[in-house]
Structure 1
Amino acid sequence: MSEQHLRPSPISATVDFTADGVQHGFLRLPYSRDDSAWGSVMIPITVVKSGEGPTALLTGGNHGDEYEGPIALFDLARTLAPAEVRGRVIIVPAMNYPAFQAGTRTSPIDKGNLNRSFPGRPDGTVTEKIADYFQRVLLPLADIVLDFHSGGKTLDFLPFCAAHLLPDKRQEARAFELVKAFGSPYSIKMLEIDAVGMYDTAAEEMGKIFITTELGGGGSATAKSVAIAKRGVSNVLRHAGIINGEIEPRPTNWLEMQDADCFAFAEEPGLVEFLVDLGEAVQRGSAIARIYPTGRTGAEPFEVHARMNGILIARHHPGLIKAGDCCAVLATRV
């Protein structure tokens, strides 16, 4: 272990992870700033424990403009009782709390993207300190990890739960069992193309059973997408044997994302017109979208083409797009 990782985390928890019962508290991170010399970032956390059993670590707000997870987890934190639990549930509805408060993907303090900051540093930026605490304290406590995501302000997704294709096929199979239990309308077997620094990668490298979601987008949440999140987290806890009750089954469509051809990026900026909607089929070489130059009228639009056959599972959300932005994401049916 490196010298910097031998240093203690500056974050202290106001909850006892070993105590039975329900505790609502904070992860307190000292943060000296202009308006508070001895200030803190106070990240809400709930621990519900009853006896021996597996531990589920449930997280949202890894990116601060994604809301289905925080809604489902703030609700679960206020309603889950120790009498319902066998084992332990650790709930952090808004991991990157500064970003969550600001309604932004990255932290307004240091512009840190928490999901690209692992393993973090105890002596780093605020975002790196949060990542370090999860890496060294919370993830080792967990048996299963559910991290909620959605499209935020810049993407819109078909609602899906996903796990990654992994070298350890036993670990992979257990993750896909949880994906099936979650019961989202779509379920995806995903090969991550940019896994460096991710929370997902940190958990999986520890041997944890990790699943994630994309449940909509546009910087908001709907009654339908929140219902998927609430039902899904309960199903996962039931499947893990942490809470009693039958899984509420839902049909799901299995998809795969196996390489970089799933992604289509804008090469020019402008006004985007999508030619297909979410869930519709596309053929390799067909146009997914047109991007109109906005500096003058009469200019021909730039077309974004599919590099594979599949269905559209995600699209750029705002009407204006920049060069290099992800325009569309495709997946294939299993």
Structure 2
Amino acid sequence: MVKNPIVTTVDFERDGVRHGHLRLPYSHDASAWGSVMIPISQIKAGDGPTVLLSGGNHGDEYEGPIALVKLARRLKTKDVAGRVIIVPAMNTPAFDAGRRLSPLDGGNLNRAFPGRPDGTATQKIADYFSTVLIPMADFVLDIHSGGKSLEFLPFAAVHRHDDAALEERCRAAMAAFGAPYSAVLREMDPAGLYDTAVEAQGKVFVTTELGGGGTARPESIAIAERGVANVLRHAGVLSGKIKSAPTAPLDMTDPQGFVIADAGGLLEPCVGLGDRLKKGDVVARVWNVTHPEHAPVSYRAGIDGLLAGRHFPSKVAAGDCIAVIAQETPIT
């Protein structure tokens, strides 16, 4: 059996505050015996639940890394009952490059699970999470935003599950997070997702989309920081009351809610994030600037709902997701 080559400088069984790295051997032109150094922190105090917190699954999403590096610096053993494992930039090669995908192998970490111990660098990272970190966890929170190509209303999310009891536990953790919106998702293609790997092991999983455009804003960082603390309190690792905030339910399980471009050009958004739409309303137009005599291609809402996500750059290509429309329905 092939063993994952990643080693850690953190002793997961030892109490205290530990800051270190997951060290992935990686030979390249500038360093023949080099390593990818993935930052990891652990705060452990006695027995109790384990919460695994991750950001930077995609390297151009920043609310998670900011909130988690601040937490790693602030959290002390006297604050916790159990264990908090923090990986602020799980896809460190992509994070260092400011890219969604890893520059080492072009891999999308959030499509590489469960990974391979003898695969590419991205697959090895996924395998380490699948075989070492996820099995230790009781709760997993993975913080995302839209990156450079998308922008979202700030929401926490869970998935539909065949396991009703697991889904209920995930929903309770999502409610505790307390984002302005709470969404139930059905992924267009769940194969290879970190989410899928965590849920397959029966762990409570919550994810987020907290903004986008390849930047972070004070309000989205504040949502991430409050939500992380709330999940830790919900898990019983931190004491104190959950700092609740109003949250609106969203249902993002209808495939007709995803508006996909079939022509490239210049995007003219016709509605803003949070605007309500009726089926058939024009969401956006795509113009052919080199041929202004051509009429634009209009893209319409396939369902009633509100605009929960949109393409961020003003230029689009065929196949790009232009808009995500969510239904405003109670989460049942």
The 1-side partners of 2:293 and 2:181 are apart by: 40
Tell me how far apart the structure 2 counterparts of residues 32 and 281 of structure 1 sit (CA, whole Å).
Answer: 52
Question: How large is the Cα RMSD of the aligned pairs?
Answer: 0.6
Q: 2:64 aligns with which of 65, 69, 74?
A: 69
**Pairing partner for 1:141 from 123, 136, 139:** 136
Q: Which residue pairs with 1:127 in the alignment?
A: 122
Specify the alignment match of 1:225 in structure 2: 220
| Of 174, 181, 186, the match for 2:181 | 186
Q: Aligned pair 1:206/2:209, yes or no?
A: no
Matched with 1:3 is none
Maintained 8 Å contact 1:65/1:219: yes
Q: Does the residue aligned with 2:327 lie in a helix, a strand or coil?
A: strand
TM-score normalised by L of structure 2:
0.98
Structure 2 distance, partners of 1:7, 1:238, is 38
Alignment partner of 1:86 out of 81, 84, 95: 81
User: Could you tell me how far apart the structure 2 residues matched to 1:262 and 1:319 are?
Assistant: 21
**Deviation (angstroms), 1:62:** 0.3
Give the corresponding residue for 1:257: 252
Matched, 1:266 2:261: yes
- Aligned letter for 1:130? I
Q: 1:243 is aligned with what amino acid?
A: L
Q: Which runs of 5+ in 2 are unaligned?
A: none
Would you say 1:301 and 2:293 are equivalent positions? Answer: no
Query: Contact (CA 8 Å) 1:67, 1:219: kept in 2 or not?
Result: yes
Separation in 1, partners of 2:85, 2:4: 19
> Counterpart amino acid of 1:93?
P
Counterpart of 2:16?
21
Q: Does 1:54 align with 2:49?
A: yes
Deviation at 1:287, TM superposition (A): 1.1
Q: Is the 8 A contact 1:187 1:255 kept in 2?
A: yes
- Rounded Cα–Cα distance in structure 2 between residues aligned with 1:124 and 1:232: 34
- Aligned equivalent of 2:283: 288
Describe the SS at the equivalent of 1:48.
strand
Equivalent of residue 308 in structure 2, options 306, 310, 313: 313
CA distance in structure 2 between the partners assigned to 1:244 and 1:262 by the alignment: 39
- Report the CA distance between 1:191 and its aligned residue: 1.3
Is 1:332–2:332 an aligned residue pair? no
Partner letter of residue 44 of structure 1? P
Counterpart residue number, 2:6: 11
Contact 1:268–1:323 under 8 Å retained in 2: yes
Residue 286 of structure 1: how far off its partner (Å)? 1.6
Residue identity opposite 1:178 in structure 2? A
State the shift of 1:245 in Å: 1.0
Are 1:152 and 2:147 counterparts?
A: yes
- Moved runs in structure 1, 4+ residues, more than 4 A? none
**2-side partners of 1:330 and 1:296: how far apart?**
30
Q: Could you give the per-residue CA deviations for residues 125-175 of structure 1, whole angstroms, max 9, x where no partner exists? A: 100000000011000000000000000000000000001110111110111
Alpha-carbon distance in 1 for matches of 2:39, 2:143: 16
SS at match of 1:69: helix
- Of 32, 37, 45, the match for 2:27: 32
The amino acid of 2:86's aligned partner reads: I
Q: Which residue of structure 2 aligns with residue 248 of structure 1?
A: 243
Give the distance between the partners of 1:196 and 1:307, measured in 2 at CA: 25
User: Is residue 193–residue 259 contact of structure 1 (8 Å, CA) maintained in 2?
Assistant: no
Secondary structure, aligned partner of 1:333: coil
Distance in 2, matches of 1:281 and 1:130, equals 40
Give me the whole-angstrom Cα distance separating, in 2, the residues matched to 1:115 and 1:259. Answer: 22
Q: Give the distance between the partners of 2:254 and 2:20, measured in 1 at CA.
A: 41
Matched-pair contact (CA < 8 Å) for 1:47–1:91: yes
Deviation at residue 298 of structure 1 after TM alignment = 2.2
Count how many residue pairs are aligned between Structure 1 and Structure 2. 329
CA shift, 1:193, in A, is 1.6
Instruction: Write the distance in 2 (CA, Å) between the matches of 1:139 and 1:64.
Output: 20
What amino acid is the match of 1:238? R
Q: Could you tell me how far 1:63 is from its partner in structure 2?
A: 0.2
Instruction: Tell me the alpha carbon deviations over residues 38-89 of structure 1, each in whole angstroms, 9 at most, x when there is no partner.
Output: 0000000001100000000000000000000000000001000011110100
Query: How far is 1:253 from its partner?
Result: 0.3
CA distance in 1, matches of 2:293, 2:155: 40
Deviation at 1:290, TM superposition (A): 0.3
